[in-house]
Amino acid sequence: MRRKASLILLALAVFCAALSPLLRWYAFPRLAKIPANEYQTMVVEAKNATLLDYDGLVARTVPKVTIVQTLKGDVEASEKIEKTAGRDVVVWDGLSYVQGPDGKMVSKVPERYIFDAHTQEPVHATGETVDGDPVRREGIEFKWPFLTQKRDYEYFDAQTRTSAPIHYKGTRTFRGLTVYYFEQTVPWTKVAMPKTMPVKGITAEDVAKTGTTRWYTTVRKFWVEPVTGAPVYAEENHQEELRGGSLLRGRGKVTAFAGNVKMREDYIDRTVSLVKSNRTLVLLLTSYLPWGFLALGTGLLALSLFLEARSRRPGDPAPAEAATPEPVNA
């Protein structure tokens, strides 16, 4: 009986030991994915910012500039690209909508971002654009990969349409979470005018004809939860200028926007709460279950060996031999 139980425990131990790496290296890449139908909105603000008054082309200090960033998954486009890409793909239609303190639109820049659902690596396909211009992204944007490492990453900048390193600057604690802090500085760079201008009837082509150009620089900061790769907080020290041309009426440059852009408090709380719950799900596949099954397999193996040893222990009383019947005499 002990030997039979020992064999059963041994089989269970082998099963658990095999299941441990299977969860980590097979199930995790296939189950931990960004859903194709994802929809999220983020609101960031720049208080006491400098904003261009287009009526007189004069930079003024305003109480607040609000930027609403929306990401919406296009399931139909994802499924279409997956047929040729050979992997799970997410297509995000993003919109960065900037409005002044009076609620009027300052600018809006749409973009389509196509990437691998698990690794977050860009997938190059038709439709990959920023403000209607075709682009070819390299590196990440919006989100870091699952199990983010303590290293630099290439990060795509939608304003310049180029990628540059975003540097790992250390480990910090944010709202009870251990996070990795990343920072990227984009130097002053000439960038395209938004195709949608805040002045009705004026187009980017009209501004280009005057010889006036738009320049941009920023210091980009992210606090990233490393298990999920999700930023729980972000800031940008963002500056834009218009330079030269007849539009400025002899002035060399004028500030179009300058401010320290930060996530709004209610969106910070919502993001931290969501990341904490998703973090537990990722840890189940990468840590809790694999190590748990490995420990269980080790325990079952030890118990199996113990029962096997007991079944073979010397000194147990031998079974009594059957008594030989006495002959019967008449």
What is the sign of the dihedral through the CA atoms of 120, 108, 159 and 184? Answer: negative
CA distances, 273 to each of 42, 117, 227 (Å): 14, 22, 14
Where residue 305 falls among pLDDT bands split at 50, 70, 90? confident
**Per-residue pLDDT at 329 exceeds 80:** no
Distance in angstroms (rounded) separating the CA atoms of residues 12 and 6: 10
Helical axes 2-22 vs 289-311, angle rounded to 10°: 160
Give residue 266's Cα distance to chain centre.
20
Confidence at residue 251, expressed as pLDDT on a 0 to 100 scale:
86
DSSP per-residue string spanning 240-281: EEEESSGGGTT-SEEEEEEEEEEE-HHHHHHHHHHHHHHHHH
Enter the DSSP assignment of 86. Answer: -
Name which residue leads in pLDDT, 117 or 312. 117
> Please, which residues have CB within 8 angstroms of residue 227's CB and are 6 or more apart in sequence?
146, 147, 148, 279, 282, 283, 286
Lowest mean pLDDT among 145-154, 186-195, 312-321: 312-321
Average pLDDT over residues 207-221: 94
Contact 135, 124 (CB under 8 A): no
1 near 9, Cβ under 8 Å?
Answer: no
Q: Please name the helix (run of DSSP H) or strand (run of DSSP E) that holds residue 19, with its range, or none.
A: helix 2-22
CB 271 within 8 A of CB 69: no
Q: State mean pLDDT over 268-276.
A: 94
Phi-psi region of 142 (alpha: psi -120 to 50; beta: other; left: phi over 0): left
Would you say residue 267 has pLDDT above 50?
A: yes
pLDDT at 319 over 60: no
Band of the pLDDT at 330, cuts 50, 70, 90? very low
Q: Grade residue 311 by pLDDT with cuts at 50, 70 and 90.
A: confident
For the segment 114-130, the average pLDDT, to the nearest whole number, is 94
Domain ranges of the chain: 2-21+285-311, 32-263
Q: What's the pTM value of the predicted model, to 2 decimals? A: 0.88
- pLDDT given for residue 13 in this prediction: 81
% of the chain beyond a pLDDT of 70: 93
**Between 35 and 4, where is the model more confident?**
35
pLDDT per residue over 42-73, tens digit each? 999 999 999 998 888 899 999 999 999 999 99
| CA dist., res. 91 & res. 114, Å (int) | 5
State yes or no: pLDDT of 97 exceeds 60. yes
Which residue, among 303, 301, 230, has the nearest Cα to 20 in the 3D structure? 301
The mean pLDDT of 220-233, rounded to a whole number, is 97
Q: In which residue are the tokens 């441990």 written?
A: 20
Give the position of tokens 């325990």. Answer: 299
Q: For position 123, what pLDDT does the model report?
A: 94
What is the rounded average pLDDT for all residues in the chain? Answer: 90
Whether residue 267 contacts residue 228, with contact meaning beta carbons closer than 8 Å, is answered with no
Its sign, for the CA torsion 203, 206, 208, 210, is: negative
Q: Which helix (H) or strand (E) holds 179?
A: strand 177-191
Residue 321's pLDDT band, with cuts at 50, 70 and 90, is: low
**pLDDT at residue 130 in the model:** 96
Contact between 221 and 182 under an 8 Å Cβ cutoff? The reply is: yes
Do 223 and 237 form a contact (C-beta atoms < 8 A)?
no
Residue 317 DSSP SS3: coil
